[in-house]
Structures are given as structure tokens and as C-alpha cells.
Amino acid sequence: MFEVVIGLEVHVQLNTKTKLFCSCPTSFNHRQNSNTCPTCLALPGALPVLNKAVVEKSVMFGTAVNATVNRTSYFDRKSYFYPDSPSAYQITQLYTPIVEHGALQIDFEDGTHKVIRINRAHIEADAGKNIHEGDVSKVDLNRAGTPLLEIVSEPDMRSSEEVILYLKKLHAIVRYLDISDANMQEGSFRVDVNVSIRPKGDEKLYTRVEIKNINSFRFIQKAIEIEVARQIEAWEDGVYDEEIYQETRLFDQARQETRSMRGKEEAADYRYFPEPDLLKVVVDDAMYATFSKIPELPDEKRKRFVDAYGMNEYNASVITSSLEMAHYFEAMMQEGISAKNATTWLSVELQGRFGGEVNIENSPVNAKTLGTLVKRIEDQTLSGKAAKEVLDYLMEHDEDVDAVIDKLGLKQVSDTGAIEQLVNEILAANPDKVQEYHNGKEKLFGFFVGQVMKASKGSANPQAVNDILKSKLS
């Protein structure tokens, strides 16, 4: 039996307004090379000046994962030659990163937890983009020099399930702190996976293989499965030492395989050394006091939801997994409804109606409206079934909940007098069935309920119908 050992490197693009070392805007979709200057184009003599907001967001992250924030850290220069980096080096933090020794708790569905250690988080500059076209490559350096926080875990994960839980938690933390857009498809939350295998019970770490280029949670799971299978097969065929060596492989979505990026004989040589253009980074007491004040995190919010609203752990973690969901939920609760109903109508009914471009952030039905709708179920104005119809209508029309209920004629009849009259009519029309019921065929109760509901065109309050029928038939 083999055990899978996984560590992750996540590049989080910090959502600052300007680049790491110059005042060029970080906004994308601008004309190629328009957000560049002598510094990010590496013209001789142009010097880097560190963006304060990058330090702030890094300290926030370090605080959120209970890490050591190094009050003095350093930049290092990593040399590599490629057209996406006009300086032919990347400024990063190899020897003393700003954040070290953190931890992140992952939560399993059965209520158990596991702590994944975070080795470090360091600041570094992103590269530009190359577009390959015919026999040339076109270089756009708008992204060159954008700040990244690279978050490196210890090899503490033992399955792709743990990897996904870790990534979802990390993603939620980053979003709660609002230090990054963390959009996987757009590349602001990039995941590199380090995978190795070992016989179960073995404490040694074997050769790790790094997989790059995976841009969705689903593909991460797939890429890990494929790479683990490759390594196990090599082990079982007795060619592990020859075929598995430390290298970077790309995940090919179309072919469902991982592929070597470069041969081992061409291993890169980064010639790291302390960055001579920058002095040490010092987070002084005043800065630390300000930057380490962070908003409520997913785990705290979950705990608060459990305590304040009496929710179960699982529902609370579903709602708090995204900041937008949590905000929406809390706004719904302003309408004075039960947490259980709010959870169901948000996570099942509303989310079930999303699709395509529609999501919680641009939902056509806002939290106040959905909260009011749930309120109308709770005050017996609407049946659950009718409320679904109202929600269908509201997804297409921006109108007032109560006006829609009237317009669609879905108001539930809870007037006992009116229901009693219907019950009397149904019983009078079915004397044989009433006799059978009294002779012990209790299943017929459902038939009577159905008949009354049908007669009311679905508008009768089912609970009232039940109660009245029971008293009439006893």
C-alpha cells in the first residue's frame, strides 16, 4: 500500500492598485504594454520602491494563519532568462520571507479537523505574458512586476480530498481578508502541486514531482490522481529510480496526462543572491499594530453562526465557505427569519437557480427580497411550493415580493372558516370514503387532504387543512 504525500505552492496575486516596485496600475485588459514604466521594463538605472500595501496585505495574511511575521525580511534575486522578464531576474524572498511557520485547519464533512502547516509566505514579482504567433513571440509586460504572495505548505496532505479542502479554506481566508480577487480562471490564485508517494508506514520523503498549469479544483484532483498512478506504476515495475526524478510537469487537460516540461539535464540554475537594489524590509511596531488588525475569518464566522443562530456545523461551514454567501446570509437574517430556512432557501433554492454567468455576486434576487420571501412562508402567507413559484418569477423580474404574491394569486388561505367550508364540502361529497376511513382505512386521510387542496387550487394552508380534517374525522 502506498501513501500519497502532497505539498502546495499557491501564488496569490495581491489586489493592490499599483505594482510591487513601481506606480504602474495593476488593472488588466488594458492595451498591451500600456501599464509599464522604466522600472518594470528594467531599464538601466531605474530602481524598485516597495509598495506599502503589499507589506500590509502580507502581514494580514500572516496574522490570519497564526504565523510568525518577520519584522525584518529581505529580498533576493532569482536569475533566469526568458522574454517575460525584461530584467532577466525575479525579485523574491528566498532566505528570510516576511511570513513563516503558520497553520491552517481543514474541516472534514464528518466534523473532524486536521492542521496543515504553512512553511512560509513570501513576496515576489510576477512576470509578463508571451503570446506565441507564427514564427515570433509577442511580449506584453502589463503584468510584469505585479505583486504575488507565494504561500508554501508543508507536505502535510495525504489525499486529493485534503488538497481541495486546504485550497478552499485558503481561498476563503484570502477573500475574507480581501487581499486578492483569488480568481483561478483569471490566474490570480495559481496552484502548483508537489506530489510524491511512499510505502505506508515509511517516514521518509521520496522524490517529489511538481505539477503546474492547473486552473480549477476539479483538474487539480484529476492531475493528482494521474500523477500518483504514474509514480505507483513506476515503483511496481521496478523503474522508480529511473523514471521518477525531481522535475516540473505540466498537466494536459485535453490528453489527461502530466508531461515533462524540460529534461533533467537542463535543470535551471537560479543563482540566488541578496537583492542589491533593495534594503531590508522592516515592519515597525506602528505598522504591525495597524496591519495585524484583520476582519472576522471563516472559522470565526462559522463559530459565531453556530452560537448565534443555532446552526449545525456543516450548514455553517457551507454558508461561510464564501464571503459573498456569508454576507448574503446575514442580510437575509435581518428579516427576522429562522437560520434553518435561510440556509435552505439560500444554498438550495437560490443557488440551484444560478447558472451561466449568474452567481451570488450578481444574483437577480437580493438578500432582502429572499429574506422577505422566507418570512412570508414563516408567517403562513405562502406555502413552500408557492414560494418556489414566486422565486422563479423573481429570478426574471425585479419586483416586490408581496406584489408578486398578489399578482400570481398564490396567497395561502389560512382562514379556518373558509377551509372548514371546503372540508365539509369534500366530506359530504364522499360519504363512502368517509365510511371506509372510519372502518380503519386510515390511508384515505391523504386522499381527503389532496381533495381539499385541489378544491382550494393549492392555496389552502396544508397545516390548517390537516388540523381541521383531523377534528372532523375523529
Report DSSP letters for 53-89, one per residue.
Answer: HHHHHHHHHHHHTT-EE-SEE--EEEE---TT-TTSE
From the centroid of its chain, how far is CA 440?
55
Q: Which residues bind another protein (CB under 8 A)?
A: 16-18, 23-25, 31-38, 41, 43, 49-53, 55, 72, 74, 81-83, 95-96, 130-132, 134-141, 266, 268-269, 274, 278-282
| Residue 121 CB-half CA count within 13 A | 32
- For another protein, give the closer residue by CB, 251 or 305: 251
Least spacing, CB of residue 129 vs another protein, in Å:
10
Q: Are 252 and 259 in contact (CB under 8 A)?
A: yes
Least spacing, CB of residue 183 vs another protein, in Å:
20
**Sign (positive or negative) of CA dihedral 29, 30, 32, 36:** negative
Least spacing, CB of residue 228 vs another protein, in Å:
25
- For another protein, give the closer residue by CB, 144 or 224: 144
Least spacing, CB of residue 141 vs another protein, in Å:
7
Nearest Cα residue to 317 out of 332, 329, 331:
329
Alpha-carbon distance values, 390 to 176, 333, 356 (Å): 32, 19, 21
- For another protein, give the closer residue by CB, 38 or 199: 38
* Grid cell digits, residue 362: 450578481
Least spacing, CB of residue 178 vs another protein, in Å:
14
Give dist(CA 121, CA 98) in Å, integer: 7
- For another protein, give the closer residue by CB, 281 or 419: 281
| Residue 433 CB-half CA count within 13 A | 13
- For another protein, give the closer residue by CB, 18 or 320: 18
Beta bridge partners of 274: 76
Least spacing, CB of residue 81 vs another protein, in Å:
6
- For another protein, give the closer residue by CB, 25 or 352: 25
Write the DSSP symbol of residue 214. Answer: E
Least spacing, CB of residue 392 vs another protein, in Å:
44
Alpha-carbon distance values, 180 to 17, 50, 224 (Å): 11, 18, 26
- For another protein, give the closer residue by CB, 80 or 447: 80
